[in-house]
Structure 1
Amino acid sequence: MRDALPPLSCLRAFEVAARYCSFTQAGNELNLSQSAISRQIKRLEHDLGRLLFERHHEGLRLTPTGEHYFRVVQRLLRDLGDETARLRRRGDDRQLILASSPTIASIWLARQLPDFQRAYPNIEIRILTVEDPHRLDLAEFDLGIYYHVPNEVDPPGLVADAIFEHERVAAVCSPIYLERHGNGIEPAHLLVNHTLMVVEDHYHDWLSWEIWFRELGLKWQPPLHTLRANSFQLLMNATLAGQGVTLGWMRLLDAELRQGNLVQALPLTIPSRGKLSLFTPQHRHLTEPMRAFRHWVLDTN
């Protein structure tokens, strides 16, 4: 007897392709080639005996059959994802899984959570640390907290809401480092006489020393002394330990600056292109813990 259900991989490819009306964008979200998406759609259309897309020179358009099937498939995949996430939590509806980078989780989120837990004592928090939000599995977490650059750093399947609307980027170091260098750092000497922390991570390439210098109208040249790593958290720990100067977000580092663990190496700042944002998976039913955290983090910061 013929199986009434088409392959799940075809349904996922169809749902994403229909959402974007683009095989290329669907491939980007699912980490597949455009041709692989096209093959899965053709396989699904063959299985159904119906065309789901009309192919025009200007792009794709859903057929009336495709429109109806898209609504059904999207609803079923959303329900399946919600139920899978619920079962993975072993039936605990009080649990909230927050995804974030190690730096944001340790420096900012960990300091904020006591206030949230006092307001919502029945919600259990689990933190999942992943440096790059593009590597997140949407079924493994409820909400994410990352820096977001609109139309440039847009992880697929997520909607971003700014937690901080305005933020500035400064060069920061430890008081020990500043004292060791005479309590004064000149911009012209920063690239020659100091160790600069450099993040080797494509997700953070929109925040670099070169961009910082050029936006301030300062002369740029590659720094003579650097400490490089693919982990911003490692470099931040090195900065706190007095090993050099790093670029940092003023509001993210507010507690470290107020407590004197970090100081501005020099008074110059630039507006941050990225905003600390709350990432919510698209097409997911919001649980009560998700609603509570969204309300708390977006309305109190």
Structure 2
Amino acid sequence: MSARDALPPLQCLRAFEAAARHGSFTQAGRELNLTQSAISRQIKRLEEDLSRPLFARDHDGLRPTPAGENYYRVVRRVLRELADETTRQRRRGNERQLTLATSPAIASTWLARQLPLFREAHPDIELRILTVEDPYRLDLAEFDLGIYYHLSHEIDPPGLSADPIFHDEEVIAVCSPTYLECHDAIGGPHDLLTRHTLLIVEDHFRDWLTWQHWFESLGFDWQEPAHSLRANSYQLLLHSALAGQGVILCWSKLLKDDITQGRLVKALPQTLPSIGTLSLLTPQHRHMSQPAQRFTQWLLHPPQPAAP
């Protein structure tokens, strides 16, 4: 292949496709984990290679030129086909494998308890779990399905559609019975803030509900707690709650087993509707493998028990 016939670098094509799809260099950089200036440089390099502009700026923002529109349609199709074939090649030799992407918290608190039930129903499928904290940084080529809390007012992560697993989820304050045995009863929201230990998640992502938001949404006055244990790991704080170290916010359905079996109890009677729903994220424009189809059916449309 001559130098003139050589294809542009893949990173330039990915930057161009993301920028054209979002209509923004900034959004493209966020998706590809690059700076806005890095996206701009790659677009400029591509425009110099093609000897024509691909984007124009006007009062509405960034938009592709006619040449850019045509090039975008081709690049989008080629990249999609390349991603699909890459996924198939990586899976080849093990067509029974299903890779699920989820956050470490969901993996340890809920998914790990559901997988034995799925494996019992589908023993021929081999499972692989990929833990990534932020669904907006997922690489679509690395997994089949995702399980994350999804906010209805936010756009779906790029290339993914979201289907709710839970409906009408509630956020509650819980602690272990051991904590209540070792401390005086919690007299109310103010008493919780002034005399008890709050377990607080730091560096939370979009789907986390903070203690301050929980208090204020319920109409209670908020102040910094007198005692707290802070960590950037929800699962660490959950283990601390189970060990009697403090009070934590949780989703009632995500931790249903711990609540039903009495390992966690309500610290306060108040509940707040969750701002997000646990959702199944499905890559768009990709052929869904048989294991992915069977997991989706099992999770979203479980068989109903036969009537007596």
Superposed CA RMSD = 2.2
Aligned-pair CA distance for 1:183: 5.0
User: How do 1:81-230 residues align onto structure 2 when only pairs under 5 Å count?
Assistant: 81-89=83-91, 91-152=93-154, 155-203=157-205, 206-230=208-232
Aligned-pair CA distance for 1:152: 4.7
- 1: CA distance between counterparts of 2:158 and 2:194? 40
* 3-state secondary structure, aligned to 1:203: coil
User: How do 1:261-276 residues align onto structure 2 when only pairs under 5 Å count?
Assistant: 261-276=263-278
Aligned-pair CA distance for 1:153: 8.1
Partner amino acid for 2:85?
A: E
Partner amino acid for 1:61?
A: R
Task: Give the structure 1 partner of residue 283 of structure 2.
Answer: 281
Give the gaps of 5 or more residues in structure 2.
304-308
Aligned-pair CA distance for 1:170: 0.4
Q: Measured at CA, do residues 172 and 112 of structure 1 come closer, stay the same or move farther in structure 2, by a change above 3 Å?
A: same
Task: Give the structure 1 partner of residue 20 of structure 2.
Answer: 18
Q: Measured at CA, do residues 184 and 193 of structure 1 come closer, stay the same or move farther in structure 2, by a change above 3 Å?
A: closer
Aligned-pair CA distance for 1:151: 4.1
The C-alpha deviation readout for 1:98-150, integer Å capped at 9, x for no partner, is: 11122211221122223322333322111122333344333322221111223
Task: Give the structure 2 partner of residue 77 of structure 1.
Answer: 79
- 2: CA distance between counterparts of 1:153 and 1:239? 33
Is 1:297 aligned to residue 299 of structure 2?
Answer: yes
Partner amino acid for 1:8?
A: L
The C-alpha deviation readout for 1:30-80, integer Å capped at 9, x for no partner, is: 122323222222222222234333432322333343333222212221222
Structure 2 contact 144–282 (Cα < 8 Å) conserved: yes
Task: Give the structure 1 partner of residue 306 of structure 2.
Answer: none
Structure 2 contact 147–280 (Cα < 8 Å) conserved: yes
TM-score, reference length from structure 1: 0.91
The C-alpha deviation readout for 1:180-234, integer Å capped at 9, x for no partner, is: 2345542221011111100012316851111111111112110011011000000
Percent of aligned pairs with the same amino acid: 65
Q: Measured at CA, do residues 65 and 290 of structure 1 come closer, stay the same or move farther in structure 2, by a change above 3 Å?
A: farther
Structure 1 contact 29–157 (Cα < 8 Å) conserved: no
Structure 1 contact 158–281 (Cα < 8 Å) conserved: yes
- 2: CA distance between counterparts of 1:131 and 1:39? 29
Structure 1 contact 172–265 (Cα < 8 Å) conserved: yes
Q: Measured at CA, do residues 37 and 184 of structure 1 come closer, stay the same or move farther in structure 2, by a change above 3 Å?
A: closer
Aligned-pair CA distance for 1:89: 3.6
* 3-state secondary structure, aligned to 1:202: coil
Aligned-pair CA distance for 1:239: 0.4
* 3-state secondary structure, aligned to 1:221: coil
Task: Give the structure 1 partner of residue 53 of structure 2.
Answer: 51
Structure 1 contact 185–265 (Cα < 8 Å) conserved: no
- 2: CA distance between counterparts of 1:63 and 1:205? 37
* 3-state secondary structure, aligned to 1:275: strand
Structure 1 contact 132–203 (Cα < 8 Å) conserved: yes
Aligned-pair CA distance for 1:156: 3.9
- 2: CA distance between counterparts of 1:15 and 1:283? 15
Q: Measured at CA, do residues 33 and 155 of structure 1 come closer, stay the same or move farther in structure 2, by a change above 3 Å?
A: same
The C-alpha deviation readout for 1:247-292, integer Å capped at 9, x for no partner, is: 0000101111111111111211111102111122344332222222
* 3-state secondary structure, aligned to 1:139: helix
Range that drifts further, 265-274 or 72-81: 72-81
Give the gaps of 5 or more residues in structure 1.
none
